[in-house]
Structure formats: structure tokens, C-alpha cells
Amino acid sequence: MTTVRQALIAREGQPLVWLLAVALVMLGWFGLWWLFAPLLIACLAVLWIYRQPHRDIPAAPLGLLAPVDGRITRIARGHDPYLEREAWQVTLAMSAAGTGVVRSVTEGKVMHQWLDSNGARCARACLAHHVQTDEGDDVVVRLQRGRLLGRLYSNLVNGERVGQGERYGFIPLGREVDVWLPANVKLLVTEGQRVQGGIDVLAELVRA
């Protein structure tokens, strides 16, 4: 098990937190207390949205981890529109009570990324990426922009490696995340189940 130690506030939200903190100090300095309370509430809300709790990443070499905190709303076997293959599709609805951190499902190489603004499910634009393990297993994850100003952050780079459970993005007040897994995996979750990103295992790869 690997313990991931990071700042308690996601770096994507730190500039906004500092801006609000400075504004609070200025309001207090000038005695504008009637504005202080609303801004303090806003600051606390931003801290909640951009919080980034520590996570203990499990030692699961064959495990495919949940990329985000949320509830599994759909599990279906069908067509992967990105790699044109048969695959298991697992859809997660992100929870406002969870963190917006996005973590890698598996260890491997980032093969390709797509920015897709077409289709009803991607009306606010989606970012999908393909990670391939060293054994040739393909995983595709599609992230939908969040409810907060339609923001979606990702620092993945094509050709670079990403570790299992590694943090690579953030979706403030996220919506849905779709994961396409190889058709021969052993599923370990069910619809309606709540999962934590980087901790709970969605499925296991099958080796002969």
C-alpha cells in the first residue's frame, strides 16, 4: 500500500483560495464587516470544493482502480467508441460530498487523448484518454467538465507514463466519468455502489 501525501488543497484551487484570503484580510482591515461574513462563507465553500485528502493506494498489480469518488450508475458490456472494440463500460456519477481529484485507473503509458464536445453526454465537452499497460491492456477514461464554471483540469501528456492511483487531474463539482475496461476483466463492483478514487478496485485484469 502506498500513502500519497499532497497538499490538503488542490493546486488548481490555491490561487482562488489565496485571492479570497487576501480579500478577507482587506475587508477586516477596512472594517467592512457586512461583507466579511458572505466572503468567509464563499472561502469555506471553495476550500471544501478543492479539498484534497490523503489516500492510501492499495497494492493491486492487476487491479483497475476507481478514478474518482462517486456512485456507480451503470455497468454495461458494449462498444468502446474510442478504440472501436468490445469492452465493459463503467459510469460513475461524481459526488459533491467527495473530492474532485482524478486518479489513474492503472499504471501504463498514455497513448492518446481526445477532446470531444459532441453528443448529449458531452454537451459541456469531455476529455478522454487511453492508457495501455505494459502487458497491452487498454483502458479508456472519459471525464466530463464540472459544474463549477465548466472546469476540467488534466496534466496527462501523450507518451508519458502514469502510475496506478496517481493524481493527474481535478474536476471541481464534477459530473460523470466513464471508464472502458477490457472485455475479459473480472468485475468487482455493482451498480449503485459508492467508491473512492484511488482506493476501491473496479475490476481485475485476468491473466492466463
Q: Is 168 exposed, middle or buried (0-12, 13-18, 19+ CB in 10 A)?
A: buried
Residue 90: CB atoms within 10 Å:
27
Instruction: Kindly state the helix (H) or strand (E) to which residue 138 belongs, with its residue range.
Output: strand 138-144
Assess whether pLDDT exceeds 80 at residue 42: yes
Give the predicted TM-score (pTM) of the model: 0.85
pLDDT in tens, 168-180: 999 988 889 999 9
- Please count the residues of the chain: 208
Average pLDDT of span 149-167: 90
Residue 159: CB atoms within 10 Å:
8
Chosen CATH of 61-204 out of 3.30.70.1380, 3.90.870.10, 2.40.37.10, 2.70.70.10: 2.70.70.10
Which of residues 122 and 87 earns the better pLDDT score? 87
Domain boundaries of the chain, sorted by first residue = 2-49, 61-204
pLDDT in tens, 52-95: 888 888 889 999 999 999 999 999 999 999 999 999 999 999 98
